[in-house]
Amino acid sequence: RSGREGTTKHTYNNVKKVPEAVINVVSYSMVQQANLASAEYPEGTNEFVKAGFTAIPSVKVRPFRVKESPVQIECKVLEVKEMGDKGGAANLIICEIIMMHVNEDVLDTNKKIDPDKIDLVGRMGGNWYCRASGANLFELAQPGRNLGIGIDALPENIRNSKILTGNDLGKLGNVTHLPTESGSKSSFGNEEELHREVKKLLDENKAEEAWGLLLTGNEK
């Protein structure tokens, strides 16, 4: 609902009349047009025309798709949940995806979506948005079938380190078994000094080397 007037949004009204929808993802190249289309124009205004978008027919549903969007998702609406009746209250629209259109220009050589090419934009709240490309992207190796030991299995002095952060402990806890001590000993003035060196390795995503240092590091 509108936070200013408490009225329902046009999207809500449309899916109540016709339980079908198209989700058009927004890339950075079209964010200003999408922002313009979000204005509260009077009922019946063609927002495609207002925002300069190109309307193209969908294949499985009645609502049109936005040609400029790199990914268009045709959906059937299964349920609409009203979260409240006052201004700012959300309405949750639960959909079943029945067809998806992906512009080949945003695919990599393996036919997977390249996050830099698609250059998506996310709404954060208020006037704030985020751009999901370039230096804002990072990769995380996903845990496989072999489960990590978990932070709870780390030695107490590591868990309670004043130097190692939650992210650091997460990397250490993602090994499949607690490593055993091997190699030559390294000497450090105190435990904090040791953990600082371990943290440097973890910041470089060298978890195995970090574990090796933890297991062989001795205080002088």
116 versus 178: the higher-pLDDT residue is 116
Q: CB of 1 within 8 A of CB of 10?
A: no
Extended beta strands in 43-147, E state: 55-56, 65-66, 71-82, 91-102, 120-125, 128-132
pLDDT of residue 218: 52
Q: What is the DSSP letter of 144?
A: -
Q: What CA–CA distance (Å, rounded) separates 200 from 164?
A: 10
Is residue 61 a contact partner of residue 74, using CB atoms and an 8 Å limit?
yes
Helix (H) or strand (E) holding 12: helix 10-17
Residue among 51, 33, 28 nearest 136 (CA): 28
**What is the location of CATH 2.30.110.10 in the chain?**
10-136
Find the range with the poorest average confidence among 101-105, 142-146, 153-157: 142-146
pLDDT value, residue 216 = 84
pLDDT tens-place string over residues 2-20: 656 667 788 888 999 999 9
Least confident segment among 51-55, 193-197, 214-218 = 214-218
pLDDT tens for residues 10-56? 888 899 999 999 999 999 999 999 999 999 888 889 999 999 999 99
Give mean pLDDT, residues 101-130.
96
Are 89 and 82 contacting, i.e. CB atoms less than 8 angstroms apart?
yes
Give the pLDDT confidence score for residue 181 in this predicted structure: 63
Digit-coded pLDDT (tens) for 87-97: 778 889 999 99
Structure tokens at 37: 């289309």
What is the rounded average pLDDT for all residues in the chain?
91
What pLDDT sits at residue 220?
Answer: 44
Percent of the chain scored above 90 by pLDDT? 70
| Stretch 173-183: mean pLDDT | 78
Which 3 state secondary structure label does DSSP give 215? helix
3-state secondary structure of 156: helix
pLDDT of residue 195: 96
**Which pLDDT value is given to residue 188?**
80
Pair type for strands 65-66 and 55-56: antiparallel
Question: And the tokens for 144?
Answer: 């496989």
Give the span between the Cα atoms of 219 and 201, in whole angstroms: 18
% of residues, the chain, pLDDT over 70: 92
* Whether residue 151 has pLDDT greater than 60: yes
Q: Which CATH class is domain 10-136?
A: mainly beta
